[in-house]
Amino acid sequence: MSILDKIKDIEDEMARTQRNKATMGHLGLLKARLAKLRRELISPKGFDVAKTGDSRIGFVG
């Protein structure tokens, strides 16, 4: 399941869920998951190695 499919599923579940005091905790968790997935979708998957001095060293493995 791709990230876009997961986002769509969470949005559908949020649309189905009634908003009241009892479901606000569940909706908050769904919003947090949605924000995390959107952040993963936007941010690159790699990482950058900080440059110090005249050379750059990275570990591959």
N-terminal to C-terminal alpha carbon distance within the chain:
26
Structure tokens at 58: 């990275």
pLDDT for 41: 87
The answer as to whether 61 is a domain residue is no
Please write the tens of the pLDDT for every residue from 2-36.
889 999 999 999 999 999 999 999 999 999 999 99
The answer as to whether 47 is a domain residue is no
Comparing 46 with 9, the larger pLDDT belongs to: 9
Residues 6+ apart with CB under 8 A from 25: none
- Within the chain, what is the greatest distance between any pair of CA atoms? 59
What's this model's pTM, rounded to 2 decimal places? Answer: 0.66
The answer as to whether 49 is a domain residue is no
Is the per-residue pLDDT at 55 higher than 90?
no
Let me know: does 37 contact 3? Beta carbons within 8 Å: yes
The answer as to whether 54 is a domain residue is no
pLDDT for 1: 83
The answer as to whether 60 is a domain residue is no
The answer as to whether 24 is a domain residue is yes
Structural domain count of the chain? 1
The answer as to whether 26 is a domain residue is yes
Structural domain range at position 7: 3-41
